[in-house]
Amino acid sequence: QVQLQESGPGLVKPSQTLSLTCTVSGGSISSGGYYWTWIRQHPGKGLEWIGYIFYSGTTYYNPSLRSRVIISVDTSKNHFSLKLSSVTVADTAVYYCARAVRGVHLWFDPWGQGTLVTVSS
């Protein structure tokens, strides 16, 4: 079955750019019918949807983060990536990648295990 795995630095300095990659295994990222998404969870808090990318490159970002976020896809490597610029301590969170199954309805499944990114000098 399809599995997702996040990778990237666990520590980023303030004002720098957070970069994460989500590698998809067990299926092709080019399969239609899915949005490839990033979601984060601040420590001990709820979930915040960051944005999605379709395999064609179409993106949508949460307006709250739009000015700082870029999500890209590399179909040849079967992975998609997140870049969040000008980070502050408020960006410290567990970052999840997830596949959004789209049809009449939509749900996130599967999810990666999540990776904690700490913003600190």
List interacting residues with other proteins (CB under 8 A). 45-49, 60, 62-64, 96, 98, 104-109, 111-114
Of 49 and 80, CB closest to other proteins: 49
For residue 76, CA distances in Å to 22, 64, 79, 120, 121 come to 13, 30, 8, 34, 35
Output the smallest distance, CB 13 to other proteins, in A: 26
Tokens encoding 12? 């980023």
> CA 65, CA 43: separation in Å to the nearest integer?
18
> CA 19, CA 2: separation in Å to the nearest integer?
23
Of 13 and 45, CB closest to other proteins: 45
Of 75 and 101, CB closest to other proteins: 101
Output the smallest distance, CB 76 to other proteins, in A: 26
Output the smallest distance, CB 9 to other proteins, in A: 20
